[in-house]
Amino acid sequence: MSKSDAQQRIDDALEEQAKRKEREELIEKLPKNADDEGQKLTPEQQRMLNRARAFDIEPHITRLQVTSGFYNSVFMRVHKVRCVGHMMRKIPTAAMGVKDMNIVFYWNPLFFADLTRREIQGILKHEIYHLILLHCTARMRENRLLWNFATDLAINSLIGAEHLPKSCLYPGKKLAASEEAKKAWTPAQLKAFEHLSGVIGGFDVKLTSEFYYGQLQKEWDDIKDFVDMEMAAQICGQFDGHDGWDEIPDELRDALNERVRGYVREAVRQADESSNGWGDMPAEAQRELRRLISRQVDWRSLLRQFVGNTLQAGWSRTRMRRNRKYGILQPGRKSDTRARVGIAVDESGSVIDEALALIFAELNNLCSTVEFVFIPFDCTVEEKFVTVWKKNVRRPPKREKAGGTNFDAPTAYINEQREKGHPKMDGIIIVTDGYAPKPAGCMMRRGWLIVPDCPVPEWMAELQGEMCMQMTWPSDKMGGRS
């Protein structure tokens, strides 16, 4: 690359950093709440605000969906939220996050109104990649900022620099900072910046997030003085927000990961079945997605997914936690999850004790996140045996009944309780060997757990929207009971 080309790239990056500063100054003048009138805008700031108000992202999303069956399938499952008011301060650009167990794409019209059509398409792809590669829902690495850099390096090189804002973080491309900004840095910060710029400038493209993260970690002692600076992410060209990723409660992450894998699995299927299904997605990305969904998912993962889908995420204010923005001046946020799942266990004579012990063991692992309503049944459900399995309380396997099997018994009981509203349940799992006729419909989310060594009944394929999970023995019992 010639010197003039390198200088032009730096100039472009500095121009975008200047635009970001203009947007931030405008946002600071906007009303902070309903009682605040805000500050007077300059004519140029008013023009920026008018342009943002007129901007609509839907045509750009539609354009991406039309050109790729894969992106279309994923975006159909994502909630889109336009940032207005105080949200423009919290999310100055764009972010893919989670709210109330839903995947949400937040977008700031002030940011998007400044972009070209090609850059908008690139950023939409960037956010989708964060989702489908599980960056949003996986547990954060120890060094959060380095992991953010690594994920952006991996994703941006799949999209291509020509489709993204010129200041974006990109393998093989050195960082840019104005001379004015550098004058405010200490010699140690300047040295660390130059070192990081050289490391990123020496990276090859289309490598994994884990690779980039590992390489950056090796350089930590030489780059930490710059990376620890408040403006490091902005100078490095990180144009979207990752702050909410580490706020997801750990008990929700497995369920969210399984849900996203389900989205990807369906999107891959649709992409394979249509002529333009993959659009311009690189082969490297397609291979990674197939690797993600090809992992064998055992019945425990499906059970956690079912339970996770019933969880209702919430939060409350508490002085026991530090506020991420205002420190000790304001109370922090405490995450809370609530769910009550019915477990209807077929205790007929054909369901062996070892199978009951296996499901009890897994439910004991899950009882830290949900409350179970234990409903033993055979041909009937007897109210005296129905008990509430409190969160964080473990219980041993115990057989209460031993007759025949009738799936209408727990279904009728659940429907009746649903109409009464007591006890309130968010879903029902029926644990059984499957040897009984097809039951009536259920008024709430219903799943089926088939004990080991028993075939899945053919009529279960006719049930719409109901998950069926085939249990297996642990590895030391593969091939049947010992």
Determine the pLDDT at residue 476: 42
pLDDT at 289 over 70: yes
Phi and psi (nearest 5°) for 284? Answer: -60, -40
Query: Per mean pLDDT, which range of 16-25, 95-104, 237-246, 469-478 is the poorest?
Result: 469-478
**pTM for the full model?**
0.64
Decide if 376 contacts 401 (C-beta within 8 A): yes
Determine the pLDDT at residue 151: 92
Determine the pLDDT at residue 129: 92
Determine the pLDDT at residue 298: 60
pLDDT cut 70: percent of the chain above it:
79
Determine the pLDDT at residue 190: 93
CA distance 379 to 48: 69
Give the model confidence (pLDDT) of 202-245 as tens digits.
999 988 888 999 999 999 999 999 988 877 877 777 777 777 77
Q: What angle do CA 326, 338, 465 make, to 5 degrees?
A: 125
Determine the pLDDT at residue 4: 57
Determine the pLDDT at residue 481: 34
In the chain, the domains with their CATH numbers are: 3-266 (no CATH), 333-477 (3.40.50.410)
Report which residue type is found at 264: V
For residue 191, give the DSSP letter.
H
* Banded pLDDT at 392 (limits 50, 70, 90): low
**Tokens encoding 128:** 């989708």
Decide if 206 contacts 285 (C-beta within 8 A): no
Determine the pLDDT at residue 478: 36
Question: Mean pLDDT, to the nearest integer, of 370-398?
Answer: 78
CA distance 255 to 308: 5
CA distance 290 to 265: 8
Determine the pLDDT at residue 223: 93
Query: Per mean pLDDT, which range of 167-181, 248-262, 306-320 is the poorest?
Result: 306-320
* Banded pLDDT at 325 (limits 50, 70, 90): low
Average pLDDT of the residues of the chain = 80
Decide if 204 contacts 172 (C-beta within 8 A): yes
Question: Mean pLDDT, to the nearest integer, of 132-161?
Answer: 86
pLDDT at 479 over 50: no
Question: Mean pLDDT, to the nearest integer, of 308-326?
Answer: 62
